Amino acid sequence: MRRVILITGGQRSGKSRKAEEMALSMSQKPIYMATAHVWDDEFRHRVEIHQQHRGPQWTNIEEERWLSQYDVTGRVVLVDCITLWLTNLFFDTRNVEEALQTAKTEFDRFIRQDATFIFVTNEIGSGSVSENEVQRQFTDLQGWMNQYIAKQADEVILMVSGIPMKIKSEK
Protein backbone atom coordinates (compact mmCIF):
# COMPACT_ATOMS: atom_id res chain seq x y z
CA MET A 1 0.00 0.00 0.00
CA ARG A 2 1.39 3.39 -1.00
CA ARG A 3 2.02 5.93 1.74
CA VAL A 4 3.40 9.48 1.37
CA ILE A 5 4.91 11.39 4.29
CA LEU A 6 6.21 14.96 4.01
CA ILE A 7 8.58 16.39 6.62
CA THR A 8 9.10 20.13 6.39
CA GLY A 9 10.75 22.89 8.38
CA GLY A 10 13.63 25.34 8.39
CA GLN A 11 17.33 24.63 8.05
CA ARG A 12 18.76 22.59 10.92
CA SER A 13 15.30 21.96 12.35
CA GLY A 14 15.87 18.19 12.57
CA LYS A 15 14.02 17.18 9.38
CA SER A 16 16.56 14.68 8.08
CA ARG A 17 17.12 13.08 11.47
CA LYS A 18 13.36 12.65 11.97
CA ALA A 19 12.98 11.20 8.46
CA GLU A 20 15.82 8.73 9.03
CA GLU A 21 14.33 7.63 12.37
CA MET A 22 10.94 7.10 10.75
CA ALA A 23 12.40 5.13 7.83
CA LEU A 24 14.40 2.87 10.13
CA SER A 25 11.33 2.26 12.31
CA MET A 26 9.47 1.06 9.19
CA SER A 27 12.21 -0.98 7.51
CA GLN A 28 15.46 -2.74 8.35
CA LYS A 29 16.82 -1.83 4.88
CA PRO A 30 15.38 1.52 3.77
CA ILE A 31 16.45 3.42 0.67
CA TYR A 32 18.10 6.82 1.01
CA MET A 33 17.65 8.81 -2.19
CA ALA A 34 19.90 11.87 -2.10
CA THR A 35 19.06 14.60 -4.60
CA ALA A 36 21.98 16.95 -3.92
CA HIS A 37 24.28 18.28 -6.56
CA VAL A 38 27.63 18.95 -4.93
CA TRP A 39 28.38 22.60 -5.73
CA ASP A 40 31.51 23.20 -3.64
CA ASP A 41 33.83 21.80 -0.96
CA GLU A 42 31.73 23.05 1.95
CA PHE A 43 28.64 21.30 0.58
CA ARG A 44 30.66 18.15 -0.18
CA HIS A 45 31.64 18.13 3.50
CA ARG A 46 27.96 18.36 4.53
CA VAL A 47 27.12 15.42 2.27
CA GLU A 48 29.98 13.35 3.73
CA ILE A 49 28.75 14.02 7.27
CA HIS A 50 25.26 12.84 6.31
CA GLN A 51 26.69 9.70 4.66
CA GLN A 52 28.82 8.87 7.71
CA HIS A 53 25.82 9.32 10.00
CA ARG A 54 23.86 6.66 8.12
CA GLY A 55 24.77 3.06 8.72
CA PRO A 56 25.22 0.10 6.38
CA GLN A 57 21.51 -0.79 6.58
CA TRP A 58 20.74 1.96 4.06
CA THR A 59 20.60 1.43 0.30
CA ASN A 60 21.99 4.71 -1.02
CA ILE A 61 20.94 6.20 -4.35
CA GLU A 62 22.31 9.50 -5.63
CA GLU A 63 19.82 11.03 -8.09
CA GLU A 64 19.64 14.72 -8.90
CA ARG A 65 16.52 14.70 -11.11
CA TRP A 66 14.79 11.54 -12.32
CA LEU A 67 13.53 9.80 -9.17
CA SER A 68 11.01 7.64 -11.02
CA GLN A 69 13.67 5.72 -12.93
CA TYR A 70 14.23 3.62 -9.79
CA ASP A 71 11.94 0.75 -8.82
CA VAL A 72 11.27 1.12 -5.10
CA THR A 73 8.20 -1.13 -5.00
CA GLY A 74 7.61 -2.61 -1.56
CA ARG A 75 10.34 -0.48 0.03
CA VAL A 76 10.58 2.49 2.35
CA VAL A 77 12.34 5.32 0.52
CA LEU A 78 13.52 8.58 2.05
CA VAL A 79 14.03 11.40 -0.48
CA ASP A 80 16.30 14.09 0.93
CA CYS A 81 15.50 16.65 -0.22
CA ILE A 82 12.84 18.29 -2.37
CA THR A 83 14.57 21.69 -2.12
CA LEU A 84 17.81 20.43 -3.66
CA TRP A 85 15.88 18.42 -6.26
CA LEU A 86 13.93 21.53 -7.27
CA THR A 87 17.16 23.52 -7.42
CA ASN A 88 18.50 21.06 -10.00
CA LEU A 89 15.31 21.23 -12.07
CA PHE A 90 15.06 25.03 -11.80
CA PHE A 91 18.62 25.69 -12.91
CA ASP A 92 18.12 23.47 -15.96
CA THR A 93 15.69 26.06 -17.37
CA ARG A 94 15.55 29.04 -14.94
CA ASN A 95 11.83 29.00 -15.62
CA VAL A 96 9.50 28.53 -12.64
CA GLU A 97 6.52 27.21 -14.62
CA GLU A 98 8.63 24.70 -16.56
CA ALA A 99 10.44 23.49 -13.46
CA LEU A 100 7.18 23.17 -11.53
CA GLN A 101 5.52 21.15 -14.29
CA THR A 102 8.57 18.89 -14.61
CA ALA A 103 8.66 18.39 -10.83
CA LYS A 104 4.94 17.59 -10.59
CA THR A 105 5.11 15.12 -13.48
CA GLU A 106 8.20 13.38 -12.08
CA PHE A 107 6.76 13.32 -8.55
CA ASP A 108 3.50 11.77 -9.81
CA ARG A 109 5.40 9.09 -11.77
CA PHE A 110 7.56 8.27 -8.76
CA ILE A 111 4.76 7.89 -6.22
CA ARG A 112 2.71 5.62 -8.51
CA GLN A 113 4.79 2.82 -7.08
CA ASP A 114 3.51 0.76 -4.17
CA ALA A 115 5.98 1.98 -1.55
CA THR A 116 6.31 4.17 1.51
CA PHE A 117 7.76 7.55 0.58
CA ILE A 118 9.24 9.99 3.09
CA PHE A 119 10.04 13.36 1.54
CA VAL A 120 12.13 16.02 3.27
CA THR A 121 11.66 19.64 2.23
CA ASN A 122 12.40 23.16 3.44
CA GLU A 123 10.07 25.98 4.38
CA ILE A 124 12.10 28.74 2.73
CA GLY A 125 9.23 31.22 2.37
CA SER A 126 8.71 31.75 6.09
CA GLY A 127 11.11 34.69 6.29
CA SER A 128 11.29 38.04 4.58
CA VAL A 129 10.97 38.58 0.83
CA SER A 130 14.37 38.40 -0.85
CA GLU A 131 15.81 41.32 -2.77
CA ASN A 132 17.13 38.79 -5.31
CA GLU A 133 14.79 38.03 -8.23
CA VAL A 134 16.05 34.46 -8.73
CA GLN A 135 15.60 33.72 -5.02
CA ARG A 136 12.04 35.07 -5.10
CA GLN A 137 11.28 32.86 -8.11
CA PHE A 138 12.74 29.81 -6.42
CA THR A 139 10.84 30.54 -3.20
CA ASP A 140 7.61 30.57 -5.23
CA LEU A 141 8.57 27.28 -6.90
CA GLN A 142 9.41 25.68 -3.56
CA GLY A 143 6.19 26.86 -1.93
CA TRP A 144 3.99 25.63 -4.78
CA MET A 145 5.71 22.23 -4.88
CA ASN A 146 5.49 21.85 -1.09
CA GLN A 147 1.74 22.52 -1.34
CA TYR A 148 1.42 19.98 -4.16
CA ILE A 149 3.16 17.26 -2.17
CA ALA A 150 1.38 18.11 1.10
CA LYS A 151 -2.02 17.84 -0.61
CA GLN A 152 -1.21 14.29 -1.72
CA ALA A 153 0.54 13.28 1.49
CA ASP A 154 -1.01 10.97 4.04
CA GLU A 155 0.98 12.67 6.78
CA VAL A 156 2.78 16.02 7.08
CA ILE A 157 5.17 16.84 9.91
CA LEU A 158 6.55 20.30 10.63
CA MET A 159 9.88 20.29 12.46
CA VAL A 160 10.56 23.21 14.79
CA SER A 161 13.81 23.25 16.80
CA GLY A 162 14.03 19.46 16.67
CA ILE A 163 10.41 18.98 17.74
CA PRO A 164 8.04 17.21 15.32
CA MET A 165 4.57 18.69 15.03
CA LYS A 166 2.00 16.69 13.06
CA ILE A 167 0.03 19.04 10.87
CA LYS A 168 -1.73 16.39 8.77
CA SER A 169 -2.51 12.75 9.55
CA GLU A 170 -3.82 10.16 7.09
CA LYS A 171 -6.15 11.27 4.34
Kindly report the pTM of this predicted structure.
0.92
Catalytic choice (37, 45, 50, 53)? 50
Helix or strand run (H / E) with residue 77: strand 76-80
- pLDDT single digits (tens) 56-92: 899 999 999 999 999 999 999 999 999 999 999 999 9
Instruction: Reply yes or no on whether the pLDDT at 143 is more than 90.
Output: yes
User: Residue 31's pLDDT is what?
Assistant: 97
13 with 163: CB under 8 angstroms?
Answer: no
Q: Given 3-state DSSP classes, what are the helix, strand and coil percentages for the chain, each rounded to the nearest 5?
A: 45, 20, 35
Establish whether 50 is a catalytic residue: yes
Q: What pLDDT is recorded for position 133?
A: 81
Residue 21 has pLDDT above 90, yes or no: yes
